[in-house]
Amino acid sequence: MESDDPLRRLLVDFFDLAENVPQEELTQRNIPAWDSLAMVQLIGELQGTFALDFDLSEIETLRSYDEIRDTLARKGVSLERQTGS
């Protein structure tokens, strides 16, 4: 079901990564293209895709798949539910 995860899909497409990239490698540290310019573009895309606005304090918590997933969950976006549907 992992490939149905919309956040994973978004990150894999956004950074043009291999489909089977392990989840723990989806981090800013591991992905050279994830620079400050990409961060701006990514935030715009996350806000558009999940129809939400990040708080300023949340900007620092968007540096990996896990962080973004947790931040989205705090804002009421459950990726699990979307994968199940």
Partner 1 sequence: MSNVEFWIRDFPSQTRQAIMEAVETARLAKVRRALRLFGQLAPELRGTQFKVELLSTYSLEPVLPTLELALSCLPCQAQLQLAPLNDIEGYVSGTTDRSSTEIPNARVVLWRVEEFAPEVLFPLSHAFPDRSPVDDAIQRMRRVVSLHKRHAPGMPLFLSTLALPQNMANPIFASQYSTGAFSAVGRVNQAIYELTSNEGGVHILDVCAWAASGGKNYTDPLLDFMARQPLSAQGQMAFGLFLARCLRPLIFPRAKVLALDLDDTLWGGVVGEDGVNGLQLGHDFPGNVHLRIQRELVELRNRGILLVLLSKNNEADARLAFDSLPEMLLKWDDFTVRQVDWNHKHENLRAAAHELGLGLDSFVFLDDSDYEREQMRQMIPEVRILNESGDPLQMLRALWETDAFDSLSITAEDRTRHADYSVRGARDAQAHGDDLESFLRSLGMEAAIEEIGPANMERVVSMLGKTNQFNLTTRRHSHAELQRLLESGCIALALRLRDKFGDQGIVAALLAVPVENGRTLEIDSFLVSCRALGRGVEDSLWADFVRRAIQKNATRLKASYIPTAKNSIVSELYDRLGLKRVTEDSFATTYALDPVAAAKWPSWIASKNGMYGK
Q: Contact with partner 1 (CB under 8 A): which of 1, 16, 18, 29?
A: 16
78: which residues sit within 8 A by CB, 6+ positions away?
none
Kindly state whether residue 41 participates in binding partner 1, applying the rule CB under 8 A.
yes
Using a CB cutoff of 8 Å and minimum separation of 24, what contacts does 40-45 make? 41/14, 42/14, 45/10, 45/14
Could you tell me which of 54, 43, 60 has the C-alpha nearest to residue 76? 54
Q: Contact with partner 1 (CB under 8 A): which of 44, 66, 80, 82?
A: 44
Kindly state whether residue 56 participates in binding partner 1, applying the rule CB under 8 A.
yes
CB 33: neighbour CB atoms within 10 A?
Answer: 11
Kindly state whether residue 49 participates in binding partner 1, applying the rule CB under 8 A.
yes
Kindly state whether residue 14 participates in binding partner 1, applying the rule CB under 8 A.
yes
The residues binding partner 1 (CB under 8 A) are 10, 13-14, 16, 37, 40-41, 43-45, 47-49, 53-54, 56, 59
